Chain A
Amino acid sequence: MLPRFVVYLLTLTFIAALLAGSVNLLAGLAGLVSIGHAGIAAAGAYGVAWAAVHDVGLPAQLGVAAALTLAVSVVYALTTMRTTGIVFLMITLALGMTVFGLALKLSSVTGGQNGLTGIRRPEAVDEWWQFYFFTAALYGVCLLVLGVVARSPFGLTLRGVRESPSRMTSLGYSVTAAKFVAVVISGVFAGSAGVLLAWNSEFMSPSVASFSRSALAVVVVILGGIGTLLGPLVGAGIVVAGEYWLSSYVERWQTVLGAVFILVVLFAPRGVVGTIAAWTRRSRKEGS
C-alpha cells in the first residue's frame, strides 16, 4: 500500500496531466499553443466552487461548472479561431490573464484574494483514497477520448489545418470552424481538470488562473513530448515529483524548472516520450 503522501502526489499528477492533455490536444494536432488554459480550468473550478458555496446539489454544481467552462471556452474559441501560431499564443495569454483579473477583482462572486472556502467533494469520493481512484479513472477515460479524437477524421482535419490551411480550405474544409470546435473540445478537458482541482484542495483562490499555472501546463507538454498521447502524463509526473521532492533539497525550484525547460526546448524538442519513441524506432530499424 502506498503512503498517503505519494497518493496525494499521484492525484496532483493526474490533474496536471489532464490540463496539459487539453493543451496538447491543440498544440499537438493543430499546432496551436495556448498559454492561457488555466483560465478555462479556472472557469470549471470557480463554477463548481461558487455553486458549492451557495449550497446547491451536486448536479447543479456540475451544471454551473459545465456552463461556465463552455462559455469561457467559446470566448477563447471566438477570439482565436482566425489566428495561428504566435498570435494565437498571445491572445490565449491575454485571455488567461483576464480570467485571473476577474477572479481577483470580482470579489463579490469569487471572494477575491481570500478565495472561496466551504467546497466539499461529492460524498462518494470524499475520502482521499476514493478521490485518488476517481481522479485516476476520470483521467483514464479522458486519455481514451483524447486518443480517439487524435485518430478520428476530425483529428486528421486538425493536422491538415496545421500543415496547410490553404489546402484544407481548397478541399472544402472550414479552417475557422475546425479551430473553433478544437478549442471548445480542449476547453471541456481543461474545465474538467479545474473541477478536480477545486475538489482536491476544497478551496479556490485566483492563483488557479495564474499565468504560471498556464505556463506550467505548456512546460509539462513540452517536457513530456508535444503531440504524444502519454507525454502530458510523463511531463506532469516529472514536474510534480520535481516540485515536491527536489524543492526540499534545492530552494530555487522555479529556476531549476526554467533551466530544464530551456534545455529541453534547445536539445530535446520532442520531449521525453517523443525522444524515446525516436530512439526505439531507430534501434528497430538498425535491428532489422
Chain B
Amino acid sequence: MAMDAGDIERLIKAALPDALITIEDLRGDGDHYACHVVSAAFTGKNRIQQHQMVYKALQGRMGTELHALALQTATPE
C-alpha cells in the first residue's frame, strides 16, 4: 500500500489541468503525503466538494492504495 508522488500529481493534473500541486512525502515511506492543490476549478465549490474533486481524480486509490493524503485545496488568488 504505497503510491509514488509523481503518480498522485499526474492523476490530479489529468482531472484538473490548471492545478498547482505541491506534494510532500511526510515520512519518506511513499504512504503518507501532504498535498496542496490550487485550481480555478474549485471556484464556487465548498471544501467538501473541492476535496471530492481531488479524490475523484485519484480514481478510487484514496483509502485503498493511498492510506494518508492530508489534503488542502484553494482557488488561485
> Are these two chains actual partners, yes or no?
no
Binding site for B on A (CB under 8 A): none
Binding site for A on B (CB under 8 A): none
